[in-house]
Amino acid sequence: MNILANAIAFQIVWMCSVGGAARGWWWAGPLALIGFVLWQLPRSPFRHADVRLMAVAAVVGFLVDSVWVQAQWLQFTAPAPSTQVAPIWIVTMWMGFALTLNHSLSAFKRRLALAALFGLLGGPLAYWIASTTWEAVTLPSDAGLALLAIGVAWAVLTPAMLELSNRWAPESSRVPT
């Protein structure tokens, strides 16, 4: 049950982040993340690993999405703090994603090739949905190359983050949470 609750909580963070950004409310995602953290961490047997993974995801997410902005493959709605770098709300989603690695995504920890496929397909799909459904992200008119690059990045980063979670909380791949 906690696995399902973790997945649902992340989806709430995702929707608050993207939906809030679409309305110019850059703060909606961070506020939802605070709720997710306050709910998940006290229940987590992997608190220390979860916090470390969120910190890594914040830095990696900021850098990766800032590269997409600089390459002009993405433009974010509600670009706080700047239009030149990844906004706070997208970094929030990376942090929320990290909070799923030892919980609702822990089954992928033993299946890193499947995790890469999940990243390859799920990463660009999330950005495409944020763009076409929510209008929180603007993709270039020929979005194919941007979505391919995003897919490749997520195909590498998803198993890499899961490997970090394996190192920091190896028991989470065996124990349902």
Q: Kindly state the tokens that stand for 80.
A: 């706080």
Give me the domain span that covers residue 62: 2-173
Domain count, the chain: 1
User: Exposure string (b/e) for 83-112, b if CB count within 10 Å is 16 or more?
Assistant: eebbbbbbbbbbbbbbbbbbbbbbebbeee
Q: What is the pLDDT of residues 71-106, one digit of tens each?
A: 999 999 989 999 999 999 999 999 999 999 999 999
Q: What is the pLDDT of residues 146-155, one digit of tens each?
A: 999 999 999 9
- Report phi then psi at 80, rounded to 5: -70, 130
Tell me the pTM.
0.95
